Each structure stands twice: as C-alpha cells, then as structure tokens.
C-alpha cells in the first residue's frame, strides 16, 4: 500500500469527481490519502471528506498565503477537531515569500502560533516553505521544543545542506512530482542523501503532476510514478520504496491505519 502524504482532493479541480479520484488511487495501490487544509474553509472541508471516506485523513491549518485569516475562531475549530480520529496533523503551515507583497512578519507570527498549537494538541505539523529557507530554519531551530510530535517538510526540493538541518531537527521530508521533472537537477543528490527512514511520498495534487503527465491535473493515483523515480535513483525495488514510505508515514501520522 502506498500513502499520499499531501494532497488537496477537496480542491475545486477534483472535488466533483472525488469518488472516482479515490477509486483510481485505489487501483494503483494508493489506499491512504492525507488531505491538507490551507485555509479555514479548506480545513473544514478536509475534515468533512475525511469523515465521509475511510481512505481519506485530514490535516487542518492556515497556509502562509492565507495568514490574514488566522483568528480565534480558526483556533477554536482546530482545538475542537484535534481529537478527531481522522485529523492527523496541523498543516499546511509555514512561510511563502514567492509572490510580491507578502507579509513576512505576519506569516512568521501565524506560523509560530500554529507550531505552538500543534505542540499543545500533541499533533505533528506539515510545513510549507517556499523561497524562505533562512527564516524557516531560524524559526524551526528557535522553536525546536515545539517539534516533539514530529513534522513533514512537504514537497521538499532544497539543498542537501538544508535537508540535513531538517533531519537534525527530527523532521521528515516528502518528495513529489518535481523530482520527476527533467530540470530537477538536485533531486538525485537529495534522494541519495536522505536517510531511508526520513522521507514520504506526496502528490500535492491537483498541482505538480509528475512526468510523463506534467502539466495535467494531478491525482493521488500518480504516487507510484514518484516511487518509481526514487527506486531508479536508489536502485531499490519499488516494492521496498512502497513499504519504507508507508512505514515512515505511519510513524509520523500516528492515527493512520
């Protein structure tokens, strides 16, 4: 069994076809989908689909691009859902300095608030970091005491040095379709460098569709394409990649069955 550790099947591109999306994933051996929230409304719908479909689990969190949304109501919702059996983590949370006009001070504040909340609720975190490596590592190092429930640096595509810092903090990384892209020059060195117990697989669907379908709407069914690429780089049988990454995902998200 494969696990997609970061998906957005509640996205408008997939939600209307969600039952077929889950069936197609199932047909490729992807039997667990961890759906990520990124706003208040998508966190709510993440919980809804997780309660409706046994294969789906939920993360709840406010993505840095939506940091203005974070308020007491959101926090109350997170607290109220922390003990839900299908809510496995707080995420995705983090920093994103990619687009002009971002508010780094507010992003940092909201990120740290959610790290504190996850710690209080005994949940791991799913972290999004884009064009913000230095601030991200600074915050994680200063708040290492808040990371005892573990965390996943999703869609990781940084340097081997950054990877090593993340692993030192006790976090895992997940690899997505980007590693299959022809211009993904640092992927082989990253995959060779990552300890076998420190990575998982993700689609980040509907975005980042792996080769040979790059540019299409991505779905959890494409997880084996990412596993295949890793198996080629590491010269390890794909079955073993499947077992290793499923075990790693279950070690991180304790509520997965």
Residues that bind Zn ion (CB under 5 A): 36, 204
Q: Which is nearer to Zn ion, 58 or 231 (CB)?
A: 58
Cβ 4 to Zn ion shortest distance, Å: 11
What is the C-alpha separation between 56 and 130, in angstroms, rounded? Answer: 26
Compute the radius of gyration of the chain from its Cα atoms. Answer: 17
What is the C-alpha separation between 255 and 139, in angstroms, rounded? Answer: 27
Q: Which is nearer to Zn ion, 36 or 129 (CB)?
A: 36
Cβ 6 to Zn ion shortest distance, Å: 6
3-state secondary structure 138-168: HHHHHCHHHCCCCEEECCCCCCHHHHHHHHH
Cβ 237 to Zn ion shortest distance, Å: 29
Cβ 43 to Zn ion shortest distance, Å: 12
Q: Which is nearer to Zn ion, 204 or 242 (CB)?
A: 204
* Token pair listed for 235: 């010269």
Q: Which is nearer to Zn ion, 155 or 230 (CB)?
A: 155
Cβ 134 to Zn ion shortest distance, Å: 22
Residue nearest to Zn ion (CB): 204
Q: Which is nearer to Zn ion, 7 or 74 (CB)?
A: 7
Q: Which is nearer to Zn ion, 36 or 187 (CB)?
A: 36
Cβ 232 to Zn ion shortest distance, Å: 25
């Amino acid at each position: 069994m494969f696990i997609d550790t970061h998906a957005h099947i509640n996205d408008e591109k997939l939600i209307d076809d969600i039952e077929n999306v889950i069936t197609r994933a199932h047909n490729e051996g992807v039997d667990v989908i961890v759906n990520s929230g990124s706003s208040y409304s998508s966190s709510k719908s993440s919980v809804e689909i997780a309660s409706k479909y046994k294969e789906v689990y939920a993360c709840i969190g406010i993505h840095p691009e939506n940091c203005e949304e974070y308020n007491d109501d959101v926090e109350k919702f997170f607290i109220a859902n922390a003990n839900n059996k299908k809510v496995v983590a707080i995420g995705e949370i983090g920093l994103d300095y990619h687009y002009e006009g971002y508010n780094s001070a507010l992003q940092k504040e909201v990120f740290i608030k959610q790290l504190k909340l996850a710690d209080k609720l005994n949940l791991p975190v799913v972290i999004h970091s884009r064009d913000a490596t230095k601030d991200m590592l600074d915050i994680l190092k200063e708040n290492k005491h808040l990371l005892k429930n573990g965390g996943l640096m999703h869609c990781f595509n940084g340097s081997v040095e950054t990877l090593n810092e993340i692993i030192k903090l006790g976090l895992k990384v997940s690899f997505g379709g980007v590693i299959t892209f022809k211009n993904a020059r640092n992927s082989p060195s990253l995959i060779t460098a990552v300890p076998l117990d420190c990575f998982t697989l993700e689609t980040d669907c509907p975005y980042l569709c792996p080769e040979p379908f790059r540019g299409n709407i991505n779905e959890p069914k494409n997880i084996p394409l990412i596993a295949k690429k890793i198996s080629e780089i590491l010269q390890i049988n794909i079955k073993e990649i499947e077992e290793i990454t499923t075990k790693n995902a279950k070690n991180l998200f304790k509520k997965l069955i």
